[in-house]
Amino acid sequence: MLVLEGQIAPSRLRFQARSRCTPTRCCEHGDTFVRQQCSRRGVSFGTALLASTCLVPSRVLAADSGDWSSPGLAKPGDSAKYERTASGVVYELISTGSGDAAARGDVVQFQYTLRRANGYFIFATIECGVGCGDGTPEVATLGKTPLIAGLEELLTGMRPGEKRRALIPPSLGYVKDGLLPQPPDFGQRRQVIVHASEPLVFEVRLVKVKKP
């Protein structure tokens, strides 16, 4: 993510001062800024943090590695550490948890944020504004609920309170109809279908594990 504090190069986003902008589904919960997107066509990824006046400031600074997905996750100076599973899921451990690790057959409750690999927001179960859920976590039984393979692998081994951010390859994503989780709105589900051939970014926090 880029935190806008200065002028955006025309070749980057092609924004203009006081350009007509509309809120996207990338709201940041608890932040005084809103994500906005230029309504002009031809901008591939025109999302950025803008003030509600749609003024484009005069300098651009790169933010830390965590705040593009959820504010305050990464601390200044932290460097991301990534793990790769045998099947090809790459993930970053954002915060640790405690208690029993989730295993096959367990009922798990989890919150998630779903984005395309370019950062474009699709859906979040957390309460974060337009395009988000009401805070109710997803519930699934590992090994039984038809979760996408990459997400099931990510959840397995997590402990309550643990948070991970993962890049899930298309082969472990929405490879067929009926796989979960599915966003509630048609437009969001359409995004999942249209971009099923791309890697997806899941940020997941395990809320609870219930052993059989």
Secondary structure (H, E, C), the chain:
CEEEEECCCCCCCCCCCCCCEEECCCCCCCCCCEEEEECCCCCCCCEEEECCCCCCCEEEEECCCCCCCCCCCCCCCCCCCEEECCCCCEEEEEECCCCCCCCCCCEEEEEEEEEECCCCEEEECCCCCCCECCCCCEEEECCCCCECHHHHHHHCCCCCCCEEEEEECHHHCCCCCCCECCCCCHHHHHHHHHCCCCCEEEEEEEEEEECC
Banded model confidence at residue 78, pLDDT cuts 50, 70, 90: low
Q: Which of 26-35, 67-76, 142-151, 162-171 has the lowest mean pLDDT?
A: 26-35
pLDDT digits (tens, 9 = 90+) for 65-76: 333 344 333 445
Task: In the chain, list all ranges with CATH 3.10.50.40.
Answer: 82-210
CATH of domain 82-210: 3.10.50.40
Query: What is the per-residue pLDDT across 54-65, written as a single tens digit (0 to 9) for each?
Result: 333 333 333 333
pLDDT band at 202 (very low <50, low <70, confident <90, very high): very high
